[in-house]
Amino acid sequence: MKIVLIGQPNSGKSTIFNWIGGYKSATANFPGTTVNFTTAKARISGWQVELVDLPGIYSLTATDAATTAALNYLLETANPESNNGTSTEILVNIVDASRLSRALELTLQLLELGRPLVLCLNMMDEARRRGLRIDIPKLASMLGVPIVATVASKGQGVIELMQKVRQAARPPNSITPPPLLPPIQQAVANIAQSLDGELGVLEKPIGSMKFPGRFLILKLIENDPTFVALAKQALPQNCAEKLLAETSQQRRLIQTSTGRAAEIMVAEDRADRSKRIFQNCTEVGRPEFGWRDRLDDILMHPVWGYVWLALILYIFFNIIFKIGAMLEPELLGWFGKSNSYILSRLGENTFGATVLSGILQGLGAGVGIVLPYLVPFLLGMAFLEDVGYLPRVAFLMDGLMQRIGLHGTSVFPAILGYGCSVPAVMATRILRSPRDRFIAAMLAIMAPCSARTTVILGLVAFYLSPNAALAIYGLNIVIIALAGKVLAKIWPEITPGLVMEIPPYRVPATKLLLAKTWWRLKEFIVLAWPMLIAGSIVLSVAEAWQLDHKINAVLRPLTSILGLPSAVGTTLIFGVMRKELSLMMLMHALGTTDVTTAMTPVQIGVFTLFVVFYIPCLATITVLWKEIGKQRTILAIALTLILAVGISLLGRFVPWILGLH
């Protein structure tokens, strides 16, 4: 049994997915978190299910990458075939009940697919706050589907939802969508008639397609290119030609009889039907003008909004600095001690000791350096996301972002970039044009990810000063802005303008915050930490066999230009594997845990600048390759390398010119 969760962005799909499937999908309170669909297997009281969490979409018209991904799943991957009378796949349409009127438009389209469907009215608490009272039995009878009310953030109604889904699995529902407006109804009937039964029954799937003919005809009247292509591909040639010819005839007819384009009429018809159903089944009372509106007045204020933004980010990073700085020396000291104890027992010059010392260094880097900063950072980030602050940031920043050629929406990849470049690059899928995606991806990989944050904090904040670390962040933002401006100049484009939902503030559920933090942390533990340890072993061995000298010799032109000790050459190679390796490897390569004994403050600064800006890590390169293509990935690598050298040179010579050397 497969359960496919589908709904608009921010309707709580991922939250429900997490409740059932065990916290594998990231939830966030801003549009477009799930760009790739996530699946999980779960057991619900002995019942084995597979969950699919599709990206949030507003309609079944593919206007962006997220909708295309969801649509492709529904049209191709999905398997609606029945198994002795029971369907093996149930759609669960998750809807934000407080925005029911609009959400019903997608529901009506999903009903056209003719699949078993359960409607989940989520965020019922929010709906009540907005003064909305929904007559659920009436809505269920109008739509002809089972409905469950939930408050997923608190887990309310989720079990009942699963029970309804299980019942829906037994008798295959025959769904009759609510009637269409006369001109469109007429057009559908005419098209079906002209084909003289060649399409079969309108309510049954046709040809190799997995949805009813009626839905195809409606999408063709809308002139949806996805479906025009599909019809040509899935139907016999003469049938497809006849169908398309008749459709364009009917489109013209609608245009002349109503004075509106056919696609507008179809969409308007859907909006109209949704609205009528909504008005029939709901009572709208007075919404509470609550603390949320007052909070928006403060946080989105044209002047104070920015002050609050700066303050919030300042506090956010300071808390992370403080917690990390408190834990780091403790943990590192403890690790250093146990390290030397174990090595003294083994004897320093054996091969086993070399490997073990590498393992310990790798473990130590994870425990001592990454975790103290990563855990508070991920937790804080999850909090800002779930509370709903990020779209407000996008609102405030849009005007400024436009100056670097991007929309406020691109703030999301950029902000995610401060966590990890990998999801940041993936998040650029929410942008519509390839040009926006490339620029946003370029800028996102330049934002210091948590691994690079570790380097900045572990080196600059720890050995120089927290203010120096802040200065690096400040410089980074300036460079990103300049890079955006240059890229936008090279590649100008007129964009249609921002349309973004601003979700209400929500008190995040602690369980979900922890789940999300754990989910992201797990990526570090499962993917990065083993790499960290493996890298440490390789470096240990390379050092024992004196390979590092060869690597350092090859990189000497670079390190000498930057005025760095040639021993750091290897660390830069390892930094490409994982950025945080460069810090850990630095201590290893210099043979000390106190970097100041081997490097001057300027050298520490230059090294950090170079690591912050140079080539993205292997994992990021992999997703870049997938998202923006080979050529642009190579371009991104070259550009970041050139940029890193340039900025590091500035970092080397500016203090010298100012006489600070």
Residues contributing to the site for other proteins (CB under 8 A): 58-59, 61, 63, 98-99, 101-102, 105, 130, 132, 261, 263-264, 267-268, 271, 287, 296, 300, 302-303, 391, 394-400, 402-403, 407-408, 496-504
Type of residue at 142? M
CA 402 to CA 659: how far, in whole Å? 38
Angle between the N-to-C axes of helices 158-169 and 13-21, in degrees from 0 to 180, rounded to the nearest 10: 80
Least distance CB 331 / other proteins (angstroms):
43
- Between the alpha carbon of residue 30 and those of residues 27, 70, 394, 436, 539, the distances in Å are 9, 18, 10, 19, 42
Q: What DSSP state is assigned to residue 5?
A: E
Q: Which two tokens stand for residue 265?
A: 């009429």
Burial 468-497 (b: 16+ CB within 10 A, else e): bbbebbebbeebbeebbeebbeeeeeeeee
The nearest distance, CB 173 to other proteins, in angstroms, is 27
Least gap, CB of 457 to other proteins (angstroms): 31
What is the spatial distance between Cα 617 and Cα 146, in angstroms, rounded to a whole number? 48
Is the Cβ of residue 405 or residue 504 nearer to other proteins in the bound state? 504
Q: Closer to other proteins at the Cβ: 264 or 311?
A: 264
Amino acid at 618: L
Question: What is the smallest separation between the CB atom of 630 and other proteins, expressed in angstroms?
Answer: 30
- Nearest residue (CB) to other proteins, 352 versus 492: 492
Residue 449 Cβ vs other proteins, minimum distance, rounded to whole Å: 27
Nearest CB to other proteins, comparing residues 32 and 116: 32
Q: Which is nearer to other proteins, 300 or 342 (CB)?
A: 300
HSE-up of 22 (CA within 13 Å, CB side)? 8
Among the listed residues 561, 424, 558, the one whose alpha carbon sits nearest the alpha carbon of residue 480: 424
How many other β-carbons are positioned within 10 Å of the β-carbon of residue 156?
15
- Whether residue 221 contacts residue 185, with contact meaning beta carbons closer than 8 Å, is answered with no
- Least separation in angstroms between residue 473's CB and other proteins is 21
Of the two residues 13 and 632, which places its CB atom closer to other proteins in the complex? 13
Virtual torsion, Cα 269, 272, 278, 279, nearest 10 deg: -150
Contact 56, 9 (CB under 8 A): yes
**Shortest gap between Cβ of 57 and other proteins (angstroms)?**
9
Residue 122 φ then ψ, to 5°: -90, 170
Q: How far is the CB of 102 from other proteins (least distance, A)?
A: 3
Contact between residue 401 and residue 485 where contact means Cβ atoms under 8 Å apart: no
Of the candidates 526, 522, 519, 629, the residue with the CA atom closest to the CA atom of residue 53? 519
Contact 112, 26 (CB under 8 A): no
CB of 63 to other proteins, least distance (A): 7
Nearer to other proteins, 264 or 482 (CB): 264
Comparing CB distances to other proteins, the nearer of 39 and 72 is 72
Of the pair 312, 521, the CB lying nearest other proteins is at: 312
